[in-house]
A and B are shown apart, each in its own frame.
Chain A
């Protein structure tokens, strides 16, 4: 009887704190604007070039240079370092990268549908690489909006010239109900 009681106590000691620990770290519901550092305004760059750009023709080399500078600024958009390692919940659209035909195991989370078609594409601080780990996400339709819950990390790409980007190790991906 005593050994049984001891066993129950040991099991309780192991199992009970775990849900408590998980419950302590509630995911912070964030919006896409939280991923942009305060004071960074991509539209500023547009305005900087707008005076010149509106007077130039499409094939003008000056227009191309302006577009190139804008593109580079977009590609190297800064990340918010304080968000590193936080549990977050973010809603967006899915751009599938890896899957097996039924479920997606790696995808990009973007703020609007059609991010691969629209010009310009979202700046690099408005895109998150989501890895679903062992629980691939079943994609119903391409235009489903999803809510991703997971740990957000800011990671430097291998190339030193490149900027950092957001990666989310997802614990849960569900269809977003607004």
Chain B
């Protein structure tokens, strides 16, 4: 079709302006989609971290604080749970299993978690998946350690490696338990949860390395060697938190009430699903605001396109006259301009989606390292298609205005241009 060829040639003649229009739309689409993508991925990542756990119990702080610290290793614990309280609650008739957790130490930027074999037996993530070992075996000895997938990969550790645990959340080489190294006995498969970035050790091992420490420092002259520590009583005095599984999910309120009313120690029991929902509700306002801002940015991009088309119309009146001369009717001119606007927007949208995928591939590693969340890169979801469709529709509607202007110009101008 000659008109189409001419239209393309006309566009190529204005390629710098056209490219800028396409670019602005693509960037705004990238932002719009990126915000939505990260939002859903973050939610899914958090929700998939823990599954099948009825209660999370810790010292009495706040529900969200306890969940973030015990499950996601975000933030700090203000107090501990005594071993006696833990034992008593674990003996409750409705409790089927518990997993004790002891947090506080770290190894080269990764959290160190003290726990027992129940962790590997009962912990579930992503609804029904259990933890699996890539190589090696679970704990056997006091100084055994099992690494999460990312720890092993980033630090290049293998089974049999010897590692030193640091005291506190930052491993700066100053407060380290270097007299009692741990031995890597197993490496877990990738889970896409904070488990990947955790070094798991035995509760006894954690107790052993702190035997000759008092108030956060090694007591001079009272050193206990690694072997001597084995013969001591390594029952922990306290743990940070524990996960609870019940024999019937409807009993959860009663056991929760039992823990919250426990007189001997101030404890807090939370339902992880409910507290996650509370977290989303609290963040929801910010998410909505972010979505509105992204939508406005897309609108700004479209305004830019309309502005460029409108201002360009004046220069193109001669072009319209030429097109009229080869047989184009005013309605063809209308269709041409409207089609041009939609085509530019469509190209911008496609490019924007492309940029987004590129950015996701590039930033995936960083997000994994910083937040412990794995971003799935799949096809756009139905909601994302809806957003893209909305942008396309808006651009079509926006393009009608310059199209109408061009239509009127071509009516008045005819074959000669009247300025």
Shortest distance between the CB of B285 and any CB in chain A (Å): 12
Contact of A124 among B46, B93, B254, B281 (CB under 8 A): B254
CB distance from B89 to the nearest CB of A (A): 14
> Cβ of A119: which chain B residues have Cβ within 8 Å of it?
257
Is A159 engaged at the interface, CB distance under 8 Å to the other chain? yes
Q: Are A124 and B250 in contact (CB under 8 A)?
A: yes
Asked if residues B248 and A157 are in contact (CB atoms below 8 Å), the reply is: yes
B252 in contact with A162 (CB, 8 Å): no
Q: Is the CB of A139 within 8 A of B277?
A: yes
In the complex, the answer to whether B247 meets A162 with C-beta atoms within 8 Å is yes
Q: Tell me if A75 is interfacial: C-beta within 8 Å of chain B.
A: yes
Given A75-B251, A158-B248, are A142 and B257 neighbors across the interface (CB < 8 Å)?
no
Of all chain B residues, the one with the shortest Cβ separation from A166 is: B250
Q: Is A101's CB under 8 angstroms from B251's CB?
A: no
Q: Write the chain A residue with the least CB distance to B281.
A: A142
Asked if A98 contacts B254 (CB within 8 A), the reply is no
A99 to B49, CA, bound (A): 11
Q: Mark A37-68, 1 if CB is under 8 A from B, else 0.
A: 00000000000000000000001000010010
- A80 nearest CB across to chain B (Å): 15
A102 to B96, CA, bound (A): 29
Contact yes or no, A99 B47, CB < 8 A: yes
Interchain pairs with CB closer than 8 A, number: 103
Query: How distant is B34 from chain A, measured CB to nearest CB, in Å?
Result: 17
A101 B249 Cβ-Cβ under 8 A: no
| B129 to A: closest C-beta gap in Å | 13
A150 to chain B, nearest CB (A): 15
Residues facing A in B267-312 (CB within 8 A) are 271, 273-274, 276-278, 280-281
A19 within 8 A of B: no
User: A161, B93: Cβ atoms under 8 Å?
Assistant: yes
Contacts of B121 in A (CB 8 A): none
Q: Chain A residues with Cβ under 8 A from B69's Cβ?
A: none
- How many chain A residues touch B (Cβ–Cβ < 8 Å)? 39
Answer whether A98 and B273 are a contact pair too, CB < 8 Å, given A142-B278, A158-B247: yes
Question: A108 touching B43 by the CB < 8 A rule?
Answer: no
- Give min CB distance, B385 to chain A, whole Å: 16
Closest beta carbon of chain B to A131's beta carbon, Å: 10
Q: Which residues of A contact B43 (CB under 8 A)?
A: 100-102
Closest chain A residue to B254, Cβ basis = A75
Chain A: CB-nearest residue to B246: A157
**Interface assignment of A69: CB less than 8 Å from any CB of chain B:** no
A115→B253 CA distance, assembly (Å): 8
Q: How many angstroms from the CA of A128 to the CA of B249 in the assembled complex?
A: 9
Whether a CB of chain B sits under 8 angstroms from the CB of A105 is: yes
Give residues of chain B (304-357) contacting chain A, Cβ–Cβ below 8 Å.
none
Interface contact A71-B280, CB-CB below 8 Å: no
Selected contact of A101 from candidates B40, B96, B257, B274, CB within 8 Å: B40
> Footprint of B on A, CB under 8 Å?
59, 64, 67, 71, 74-75, 95-102, 104-108, 115-116, 119-122, 124, 127-129, 139, 141-142, 157-159, 161-162, 165-166
Interchain Cβ contacts under 8 Å between A and B, 15 examples:
A71-B254, A96-B274, A98-B273, A99-B276, A101-B280, A108-B250, A108-B252, A116-B256, A121-B256, A121-B257, A127-B250, A142-B277, A158-B96, A158-B247, A162-B94
Given A104-B273, A121-B257, 8 further pairs, Cβ under 8 A: A98-B51, A99-B47, A99-B276, A100-B47, A105-B127, A124-B250, A124-B254, A157-B248
